[in-house]
Structure 1
Amino acid sequence: MSNPKEIKKRILSIDSVVKTTEAMKMISIVKLRKSKELLLHIKRYSESIEKLFQHFLLSFHDKLENIQDKKYFFSSGKKKLFIVITSNRGLCGAFNSLIFDKIHRYIQENGYLKKDCIFFSIGKKGFDFLSRKYNMYKEKIPNNFTYKYEDVIILVKELIEDFFSKKFHSIYLIYNHLKNSFFQEIIIEQFLPIIFTDFENKSSKKSSNCSILEPSKEEILDYITPKFLSVKLFKSILESSTSEHTARMMSMHKATESASDIKKNLMLNYNKERQTSITKEILEIISGLEALSETN
């Protein structure tokens, strides 16, 4: 049997845990609402720029084939770069561990050599895990990276330059996609080179509009493609952020429920112990009175 005082201390500590998890749950709800709103806007913008990009490719596909090396559509080299989007903090359930498991299975299933896989983590948890097992694109996470669209544009510009310099054969995005409040899916999609057939399959027929472009198709391609890729990466970051806040909200909700159940059990034990001690004291008083009456 535990001491009632010790049980009381544990109850007080559980109370503080419940208050903490409940507060973290409310914070996650507020952040989730903001993240969903921002994601909705970027999805609309992404759909518009993707349609514009698709129209450009389908309208001038035959002429684009004459561009040297097809630039964004042709790959060379051996190494593959994986951009992994994780969280900066923990307490979000299996949010990060599911990504790490997916990476391990994906490399094994495709037979990639460890030396040919380079990783870049957007998120401290991913960097801490991946830097111990794989080669990293950067030695540390840039301190000035604030997950804003302006930072994404700078990062995409660096990635495109490294891709053109043939440092990487291909670049992939790995992130959590929220299907619903109870289910998240790990997405692995190719970032570079751009797969033209993906756009071709989305359209039933090629565009027949004979648009006049100035100054040239090459310059327009160099202008619109980085924007398309920046929006794609930024949307993936927001998808991951929405999934993270949802996972943390659910984790804190479950933690609050578990702590409440522990508190109930502790209260029952506390009441039992208190009742036992009261009964024991009453018996001692009765036995003392009986002893006094016998001596008299």
Structure 2
Amino acid sequence: MPSLKDVKVKISAVKKTKQITKAMNMVASAKLRKAQERIVRFRPYAQKFYEMLSELASGVDASTHPLLSVREEVKTTGIMLVTSDRGLAGSFNVNLINTAKRLAASKKAEGKVVKFYCVGKKGRDAIRKADFEIVRGYHDKMSSAFDFSLANELGREIIGAYIAGALDEVILIYGELESIARQTPRSLTVLPIKPEEGKASSGPRSEYIYEPSVVDLLAELLPRFVNVQVYRGLLDTSASEHAARMAAMDNATRACDDIVGALTLAYNKARQTTITKELMDIVGGAEALKG
């Protein structure tokens, strides 16, 4: 049985750990509110952009722009994996990484070359250990207050590779914030753009005369649409990370309470055992003196 001093030291250590996890929970909660506001404001814009683009692209041939044309044979698949830079977020990063690895393994089994674009240190480090090529790794981006310029940089990277023929398709894997308690890994085909698969606006279609032409508008809007999709993935992953960390730290705080309770009970038992032993020694000594 451990000594009273050992148990007391353990109780003190667990209480200090509880203070840390509780503080991290409060920090994650504050960051989550800001990140949640950003993604809630941006989602309607991204959805409306998709509907408008579907309306424009539905009347033109896919060959009018390279971002709309689907390759006859897909030889190289680019996977953009968005994770966090920091841990202590439960199984959030693990789920994203496993989703990316399963997708990469299935593409490789089909005879395709898989190339990764990793945003976030956790995903980059995990893919490095796997047998896949990392074209570009971005770290220390998700932990800071990023803006749309990061999506522009990522968009230019994958658009340039797609137009040059280095990639035949690009799939974005990110964490979608469904609720504070639920963050789901999602796979989204970013390139080629397939507006017909989106949710077009309901109701009768209106006929418009465009100036400049639809082709010129698409040439301007399609690259922006790719950036919008990437930015939405970044915002969703950022909000999901904070939600997952808040839940993980809340569970850790509760676990600390359980451990402190168990250690306190062990401490009381050890203390009672020590007192009983001392009383027995005193009684035994007194009886010996009487004899």
In structure 2, the gaps of 5 or more residues are none
- 1:71 maps to amino acid: P
Q: Distance in 1 between matches of 2:53 and 2:173?
A: 23
Note the alpha carbon deviations across 1:31-86, whole angstroms, 9 max, x for none: 1111110111111222332233233223xx23x4562xx31111446211000011
- 1:272 maps to amino acid: K
Q: Distance in 1 between matches of 2:153 and 2:63?
A: 28
Query: Could you tell me which residue of structure 2 aligns to residue 207 of structure 1?
Result: 205
Distance 1:274 1:236, change over 3 A: same
Whether 2:182 is the aligned partner of 1:196: answer no
How much does 1:111 deviate? 5.6
Whether 2:15 is the aligned partner of 1:24: answer no
Q: Is the 8 A contact 1:118 1:137 kept in 2?
A: yes
Deviates more, 1:103-112 or 1:167-176: 103-112
Note the alpha carbon deviations across 1:143-191, whole angstroms, 9 max, x for none: 7785321121122122212111111000010111122333332211100
How much does 1:125 deviate? 0.3
Q: Distance in 1 between matches of 2:162 and 2:245?
A: 35
Query: Could you tell me which residue of structure 2 aligns to residue 176 of structure 1?
Result: 175
How many corresponding residue pairs? 286
Query: Could you tell me which residue of structure 1 aligns to residue 135 of structure 2?
Result: 137
Query: Could you tell me which residue of structure 1 aligns to residue 82 of structure 2?
Result: 85
Whether 2:102 is the aligned partner of 1:97: answer no
RMSD across aligned positions (CA): 2.3
TM-score, normalised on structure 1?
0.88
In structure 1, the gaps of 5 or more residues are none
What does 1:1-296 align with in structure 2 at a 5 Å threshold? 1-58=1-58, 61-62=59-60, 64-65=61-62, 67=64, 70-76=65-71, 78-109=75-106, 112=109, 116-133=113-130, 134-138=132-136, 140-141=137-138, 147-199=146-198, 202-203=200-201, 207-214=205-212, 216-294=213-291
Q: Distance in 2 between matches of 1:85 and 1:144?
A: 10
Q: Distance in 1 between matches of 2:253 and 2:127?
A: 31
Q: Is the 8 A contact 1:115 1:135 kept in 2?
A: no
Distance 1:65 1:267, change over 3 A: closer
- Give the secondary structure class of the aligned counterpart of 1:131: helix
- Give the secondary structure class of the aligned counterpart of 1:73: coil
Q: Is the 8 A contact 1:85 1:122 kept in 2?
A: yes
Larger radius of gyration: 1
Deviates more, 1:270-279 or 1:179-188: 179-188
- 2:37 maps to amino acid: E
How much does 1:109 deviate? 4.3
- 1:6 maps to amino acid: D
